[in-house]
Structures are given as structure tokens and as C-alpha cells.
Amino acid sequence: MLVIIDMMALLMGIVMGFLAFLLLGGTVGWSAWYFYPARKTPSNRGGGRIKGIIGAIGAGFIGAWGGSFLALMGALVKPGQMLEWFIAILAAWMVAAIYTSFTR
């Protein structure tokens, strides 16, 4: 019985971490896309808007996950520390801003 509880706790930690980075990185990615000024050209009208938003959200998620992963692998932080979240936010912002600057 304890093995099942341990496996559930492990899987919930993985799933909750994924959802947290998706929400955190997605929010940061969307804000980078929203607040980054677009060039005033006729080519940025219409259909590319949704792809740009989804791409920025994906870039933010990858940045948050990657920053946290590298900080954990480099033994800079322990899982769940506030510094890990700060690094994840900073990395998500950097990756989303770079992505947005090249696509807008």
C-alpha cells in the first residue's frame, strides 16, 4: 500500500510541476508577446496573431522549465525553493522576449 502512495506522490509532483511551469511560463510568454511593440507594417495583420501568441506561450514554458532544470542540475537550488521559481520566471522572460523580438 505504501508503494502505491509513494508512486502517487511522485507522479503528482511531476504533473503539478508541469502544470505550474505551463501556467507560469505561459503567462510570462503571453505578457512578453503583449507588451513587446510590434512593427507597424502591413505584413503583421490578421492570421499570424494566434500563431505568435501560441509560440510565445510555448517559448515561455520552455524557458521556465529549462531554467528550473538547469538550476536543479547545477545544484544551485533545491526543488520548491523560491529561488528556483525566480530563476524559472527570469528564464521564461528571457526566452519569450527573444522569441517575440524575432517574430514581431
Please report whether residue 6 resides in a domain.
no
Please report whether residue 75 resides in a domain.
yes
Interval 1-11: pLDDT, tens: 555 545 545 55
First and final C-alpha spacing in the chain:
54
Q: What is the mean pLDDT of residues 65-87?
A: 84
Residue 41: which pLDDT band, with cuts at 50, 70 and 90? low
Cell of 3: 508503494
Please report whether residue 74 resides in a domain.
yes
Please report whether residue 93 resides in a domain.
yes
CA distances from 47 to 31, 35, 54 (A): 19, 19, 12
User: Residue 23 — φ and ψ, nearest 5°?
Assistant: -70, -45
| Single-letter residue type at 97 | A
Please report whether residue 42 resides in a domain.
no
| Domain range enclosing 75 | 21-37+47-103
Alpha helices in the chain (DSSP H): 2-35, 48-73, 82-103
Interval 80-94: pLDDT, tens: 778 888 888 899 999
Give how many domains the chain has, as a whole number. 1
Please report whether residue 4 resides in a domain.
no
Please report whether residue 91 resides in a domain.
yes
